Amino acid sequence: MTAERAADPLAEPLVLGIETSCDETGIGIVRGRTLLSNTIASSMDEHSRYGGVVPEVAARAHLEALQPSITAALAEANVQLQDLDAIAVTSGPGLAGALMVGVGAAKGLAVALDKPLYAVNHLVGHIAADIVTPDSEPLEYPTIALLVSGGHTSLLHVRDLTTDVELLGETIDDAAGEAFDKVARLLGLPYPGGPEIDRAADASPAGPGDPKAIRFPRGLSKASDMAKHRYDFSFSGLKTAVARWIEREEAAGRSLTESTRADVAASFREAVVDVLVTKALAACEDLAVPRLLLGGGVIANKRLRDVAVARAEAAGITVRIPPLSLCTDNGAMIAALAADLISSGRAPSTLAFGADSTLPVTEIQVAVAAGDAQPGAPA
């Protein structure tokens, strides 16, 4: 233990985070803002046979993966359970059954080890992933955050990570990741759709697709939509437009070739990227915030990253993107958020919380104790 830590046990708390909101069992360990372990066990292969995430399959996979994942994370971090200062867990949003597995495990560990427990928000966790990115500069506030994943597409105004996160807009139907999965199915491509759409658009045997070949709609981007839905997203109509285009081609006797599939994939992807980046940069401009943080699994899409960086640079906006290993769902981001809460003096959560599949992003931590009443709370 360092002299600084001995003087102030809140300075660099050692926290284990548990993330089970969807199909990835994430266990992360951080010491303050230093990442010690980021262990992820994915059940994606089990879901691929169904063409999407099956909640019951995900929950069972979490049950099977939790213990070995915790063991692996502790070994990588070279710490013991007894060394931990706190346990953190995703309370929501996410799949209810999957969340219950993580919440139950976290409560059991906290009680058995007599350690404080921090129940936190999954979406805010994606922002916290940035603060444990190795060699990164401290995150400045305020910042606009665009979170894009299979289940969420959200635009946030982050004035402070632990106290003030405002939801500016979100998807009103399909999330961007869901749209990728559904369009991939229309094109005869396997699950998960994001990487497959990328391959079809960029690495087709017929050559790269033309992103301007087909002008697919940009949801909620018309002037008539902007008053009410300036920062909201909609991808259901885009998915339907792709389906109708394919149907018209087939009705005319033109089946999909490698070349046309590449054009459809590239044009669809361009529509998604265009609306995501346009609305995110609009929020930066409207709120006079010269910073944009990208997070969530869909940020793995290279076209999205490239367009966001290029257009933001032209607008004088700085873009931050955590490493891809911290963009997908992971326990390190949950541990990082809890460590920041601890360092800011926040009391732990009580045990009076459960899995909340619709937890609003404004609830950064749930079931906060009135004081340091929970046994084991850092003093």
Tokens of 141: 């506030």
Residue-level pLDDT at 3: 39
Cβ neighbour number for residue 71 with a 10 Å cutoff: 13
DSSP 298: G
pTM of the model: 0.93
Residue-level pLDDT at 50: 86
Long-range pairs, 104-111, Cβ under 8 A, ≥24: 105/18, 105/20, 105/66, 106/18, 107/351, 109/16, 109/81, 110/351, 110/376, 111/351
Residue indicated by tokens 């931590």: 365
> Are residues 128 and 147 in contact, defined by beta-carbon separation less than 8 angstroms?
no
With CA atoms as reference, report the closest residue to 245 among 187, 182, 199: 187
Say what the alpha-carbon torsion angle 273, 275, 281, 284 is, to the nearest 10 degrees: -130
DSSP 171: B
Residue-level pLDDT at 100: 98
Average pLDDT, the chain: 93
β-strands 24-31, 117-121: how paired? unpaired
Residue indicated by tokens 């106290």: 163
Residue-level pLDDT at 78: 98
Tens digit of each residue's pLDDT (9 = 90 or more) over 284-337: 999 999 999 999 999 999 999 999 999 999 999 999 999 999 999 999 999 999
- Residue-wise over 172-184: b if at least 16 C-beta within 10 A, else e? ebbbbbbbbbbbb
With CA atoms as reference, report the closest residue to 232 among 173, 147, 172, 295: 172
Q: What is the DSSP string of 258-288?
A: HHHHHHHHHHHHHHHHHHHHHHHHHHHHHTT
Residue-level pLDDT at 379: 38
- Residue-wise over 270-279: b if at least 16 C-beta within 10 A, else e? bbbbbbbbeb
Task: Give the three-state DSSP class for 153.
Answer: strand
State which residues of the chain have pLDDT below 50: 1-7, 372-379
Q: Provide the percentage of residues in the chain whose pLDDT is more than 70.
A: 95
- CA–CA distance, 265 with 279 (Å, rounded to integer): 22
Task: Give the three-state DSSP class for 365.
Answer: strand
Residue-level pLDDT at 49: 87
Phi-psi region of 321 (alpha: psi -120 to 50; beta: other; left: phi over 0): beta
Element housing 249 (H / E): helix 236-251
β-strands 153-160, 143-148: how paired? antiparallel
Phi-psi region of 301 (alpha: psi -120 to 50; beta: other; left: phi over 0): beta
